[in-house]
Structure 1
């Protein structure tokens, strides 16, 4: 599989040489690096794609994922939220935001994000699990 991504990197770099304003080539080059766990290079290319296409929800999402894999939850959360601005009906984005908010201890906001994820995908086991984990917190908050 690694060879496949190495080959893709070569081709995307060639495409960029032909047109250095080719946002999809930078984005896909970032994806190839991401799949090889080369997060620094993935981020570099995602950011270039984002400069060329600032409204790209997918680009923000992948930047967020790369930061998350690097353990930078603040930058990850920022980019998931930017992704959500351009793709508000994507339950996966809501789910990722909910998980990060829960990790930060922002339980009330996390609960709302899990609810939104479930509203958009009523078969989301992960959203249900999150709501279940946080339901005691919400009940306690209501009873105060």
Structure 2
């Protein structure tokens, strides 16, 4: 097993000092190989040492300007620091250079969500959802984005799929209730809000929405 793989294994086992040592040795043995810098960058990113991580990813890109995972790593550096426009640029470079994985599309979509550009987020979240059909977080954010774009029929289908994966997903239940309100079905909305509160008693949004729906129904 080469030192990079050993370093990745140590990193996954939370043995960060040993991982750093192995990555350093790999870089010293092959200083023109970008993978060593990328893996060390990922370790530094995990440890939230963002400035150092950025330098390692940039070093990798100076050796190979098509290193898609280095762009992805840089995107994560910026995303974690809420520099969403800079993160977008890097995630797009990663995709342009052949990275076709759910996570990069998901994070690219989320950079737009974080800036309230829900229409721009939708195609990237859709691709992420297509690539990761059993990832609860990705499916939920896709469903939520559909709802924010007023595509309620599709949102309902996706959020119901989230409940198939995670039956006690309070936020999915709450947002199904919101969709039902838009569909002018207050009784169904109330059912969803009640279920959300059953699985998460402190769900403030569901509690408030339930009170509003009950108030409206009592006035009829």
Q: Which residue of 1 aligns with 2:161?
A: 116
Say whether 1:34 aligns with 2:79: yes
1:81 aligns with 2:132: no
Residue 133 of structure 1: how far off its partner (Å) = 2.9
Q: For each residue in 1:102-129, what CA deviation from the matched residue of structure 2 results, as whole angstroms up to 9, or x when unmatched?
A: 2222222211111011112223111122
What residue in structure 2 maps to residue 101 of structure 1?
146
Gaps of 5+ in 1: none
Q: 1:23 aligns with which of 68, 91, 107?
A: 68
Which residue of the other structure, out of 168, 173, 184, is the alignment partner of 1:128?
173
Higher relative contact order (CA 8 A, sep 6+): 1
Give the number of the structure whose alpha-carbon radius of gyration is greater: 2
Separation in structure 2 between the aligned mates of residue 138 and residue 52 of structure 1, nearest angstrom: 46
TM-score, with normalisation over the residues of structure 1?
Answer: 0.85
**How far, CA to CA, are the matches of 1:29 and 1:106 in structure 2?**
33
Give structure 2 stretches of 5+ with no counterpart. 1-44, 187-220
CA distance in 1, matches of 2:67, 2:99: 13
Task: Tell me how large the CA RMSD over aligned residues is.
Answer: 2.1
SS of equivalent residue, structure 2 residue 122: helix
Rounded to whole Å, the distance in 1 between the matches of 2:69 and 2:115 is 23
